Amino acid sequence: MSVANYETVGQRAAELIAKADRILVVSHIAPDGDAIGSMLALGHILRQLGKTNVTLACDDGVPDKLAFLPGATAVVTSVSGSFDLVIVVDCSDERRGGGVFRAAAVGRPLVINIDHHITNTDFGDVNIVQPDTVATTEILFLLAAAWGVTLDKDTAQCLLTGLVTDTLCFRTANATAGVMRIVTDLMQAGADLSSITSRTVNRRSYDAICYWGRLLQSIDLVDGVVSVRTSSNDHAVNGDASVVTLLITAEEADMAASFVETDDGQVEVSLRAKPGFDVAQIAFKLRGGGHSAAAGCTVDGSLDQVADQVLAMMKRARREQACA
Ligand code: AMP
Ligand code: MN
Ligand code: MN
């Protein structure tokens, strides 16, 4: 999207923000660095715009490894009362906003939806959805510029965290020269790249590594799709482990999947694709979402039933995409 478009849609968002007294910022359940980075950065930006009544909420709170981010202690996990405006960041649909979004929606507030998932459902009154950006924090960087906000060190640190985590530290295919220019601007504003990488992409718990070991016992590679599945899951470390990010590095694979059975008859599915392949549409068909290279969904059913169904969809999509 061009700068002119950012100014138009950013202007509409700025008008809603200017009129609002009570603002709620929501990011997605099971939050990652972009979800928390976006929520905290937007909190700092809103305060610079003169907003004094801003609540930051996420059902699952701030993961320990992101607690170093400035402002993280202000995040709440439930909300009460009414809001004039809810700004939802890094969520492809309302369900991703979890219980805090559902609770706030009862009062019918205006909703601004700021996101970069290709599968976004445009659920807001104002939708700032940019699938060509690497992270929601990239959109916030551009919006802050359109709003005339000068980035301070804390805001820059939160914005850079989203860029680092969603690009696996600039290893994804969408890490362009333009993105690296934003990185430079953020570092000049005071963001500390080394502290972010050492606390996020270069770090996981010992338990998460042991969990990898257990999951990898089920590894399977068929028709260019590599996968693992488990019913003896460890939810405390599952998000931290992100074993699928390791699987997609297999030279022989174009797509990767992990299947983790929950205690309530569902399977959490994480999907990855090499450049030139797309797993977002598979996740979307299963009521999930994501990006062409990384997507996910939660599907009702038993482990083997869901895994077999999704793997069949992936193999068909891979064949079609290889021919396209
Ligand atoms: P993950 O595999 O959990 O790292 O997620 C990869 C991408 O898919 C992220 O961009 C998530 O936002 C998205 N995603 C994961 N699970 C879901 C879901 N249940 N619904 C919508 N999007 C999802
Ligand atoms: Mn996210
Ligand atoms: Mn994101």
Are 159 and 287 in a shared domain?
no
Residues 114-129 have pLDDT tens digits of 999 999 999 999 999 9
- Of the pLDDT bands very low, low, confident and very high (cuts 50, 70, 90), residue 5 is low
| Residue tagged 């061009």 (tokens) | 2
**pLDDT over 90 percentage in the chain:** 92
Among protein residues, the one with the nearest Cα to ligand 1's atom 20 is 288
Ligand 1 pocket test, pick from 92, 119, 259, 292 with the greatest ligand atom count within 8 Å of Cβ, gives: 92
The region of weakest confidence among 53-67, 89-103, 127-141, 221-235 is 221-235
Do 160 and 87 belong together in one domain? yes
Are 184 and 228 members of one domain?
A: no
- Same domain for 253 and 151: no
**Rounded Cα–Cα distance for residues 236 and 272 (Å):** 22
pTM of the model as a whole? 0.96
Domain that holds residue 310: 206-323
CA of 66 to the centre of ligand 2 (A): 13
Q: Residue 232's pLDDT band (boundaries 50, 70, 90)? A: confident
Indicate which CATH number applies to the domain containing 239: 3.10.310.30
SS3 content of the chain, % helix, strand, coil (to 5): 45, 20, 35
Report the chain's terminal Cα–Cα distance, integer Å.
Answer: 26
Helix (H, G, I), strand (E, B) or coil at 122: coil
Rounded CA separation 254/227 (Å): 11
Q: What is the mean pLDDT of residues 147-162?
A: 98
pLDDT at 14 over 50: yes
Q: How far is residue 151 from each of residues 140, 239, 262, measured CA to CA in Å?
A: 11, 30, 41
% residues pLDDT > 70 (the chain): 98
* Nearest ligand to residue 164 Cα: 3
Which residues have beta carbons under 5 A from ligand 2 (an ion)? 32, 34-35, 90
Asked whether residue 37 falls in the same domain as residue 184, the answer is: yes
Task: Show which of 156, 181, 200 is a domain's final residue.
Answer: 200
The answer to whether the beta carbons of residues 124 and 111 sit under 8 Å apart is yes
- Decide: 321 in ligand 1 pocket, CB within 6 A: no
Among residues 200, 229, 262, the one where a domain terminates is 200
What is the predicted pLDDT for the residue at 2? 37
Exposed / middle / buried, residue 115 (Cβ in 10 Å: 0-12, 13-18, 19+): buried
Please choose, from the candidates 276, 204, 271, the residue with its C-alpha nearest in 3D space to the C-alpha of residue 238: 204
Q: Are residues 156 and 40 in the same domain?
A: yes
Looking at the structure, do residues 136 and 175 belong to the same domain, yes or no?
A: yes
Q: Does ligand 1 have an atom closer than 6 angstroms to the CB of 296? A: yes
294 ligand 1 Cβ < 6 A: yes
